[in-house]
Chain A
Amino acid sequence: MSIKASTRQVDDVTVVDLSGRITLGEGSTVLRDTVRELLGRGQKKILLNLGDVTYIDSSGIGELVSGFTTVANQGGQLKLLNLTKKVHDLLQITKLYTVFEVHNEEASAIRSFS
């Protein structure tokens, strides 16, 4: 199964619920297009919910990084929610865990956006 992405608005934060695999090809393209589309609509507070992401490869990690830098460059914030152990471990070994702001609870994540 490749990736599925659905968005919902909570206050002024757009939560993107992702499920499936974020890998080279469709998975990373969907993530990239979703972030671009949100930025195009002026949504610059983005919370990626990765709770149902079962697999991520280096292309998927690259897409998360690109999303983070693209949003930041436009004055916005992209944060991560509900990392699975696999994704958590991958971000740890690639030293990206400290780059991203990671939350385990949606309500506090929403409140953290300035």
Chain B
Amino acid sequence: MSLESALESVDQAEEEVVRFATEAGFGEEDLQKVGMAVRECMVNAVLHGNQYDPEKRAGVRVEVDERGGLVITITDEGAGFELNEVPDPLAQENLLRHSGRGIFLIRAFMDNLQVRRRAPRGTEVRMVKYRTEETDQPS
């Protein structure tokens, strides 16, 4: 889906991806993590990437791969960023910063994260979530 660079698109993307993941059989705990990762990634795309520019779009694609993993790809048309240049929010000097935790949370909630630059401009973020085995605890 192609979405406007607006805050409402963050909610829309989260809802659509969580609906898809629900239908694909992902459990509640995984759905929460996926929803939050999509939210953080979309905020990066529409706010930091596209900077709410109405001429720019955010793209969202979701599919299940051959291993059963949920593959989510989010694109923007912004200036882009280098994953290894994102400051570590857990470093003592960054702990009380207002922002800078989005990528960290995506990494914490998803099983795989890849970021690449798009030509002629923009960023593509690809993240994968595999099912967590949810076992029933004996009562």
Contact = CB atoms under 8 A, between A and B. Distances in A.
B96 A59 contact: no
A65 B90 contact: no
Contact of B90 (A59, A61, A95): A95
Contact of B101 (A68, A86, A94): A94
A59 B10 CA distance: 13
B89 A57 contact: no
A96 interface: yes
Contact of B7 (A24, A58, A68): A24
Nearest to B44: A58
B43 A24 contact: yes
Q: Which of A68, A96, A99 has the most CB of B within 10 A?
A: A96
Contacts of B102: 58
A107 interface: no
A106 B32 CA distance: 28
Interface string B45-69: 0010000000000000000000000
Given A93-B108, A95-B90, A57 B98 contact: no
Contacts of A23: 39
Interface string B101-112: 110110010000
Contacts of A94: 89-90, 101, 104-105
Nearest to A63: B98
28 contacts: A24-B7, A24-B10, A24-B43, A24-B47, A25-B7, A57-B36, A57-B39, A57-B40, A57-B105, A58-B43, A58-B102, A58-B105, A59-B43, A59-B99, A61-B101, A62-B101, A63-B98, A65-B96, A65-B98, A66-B98, A68-B96, A86-B32, A94-B101, A94-B104, A94-B105, A95-B90, A99-B95, A99-B96
Interface of A: 23-25, 57-59, 61-63, 65-66, 68-69, 86, 90, 93-96, 99
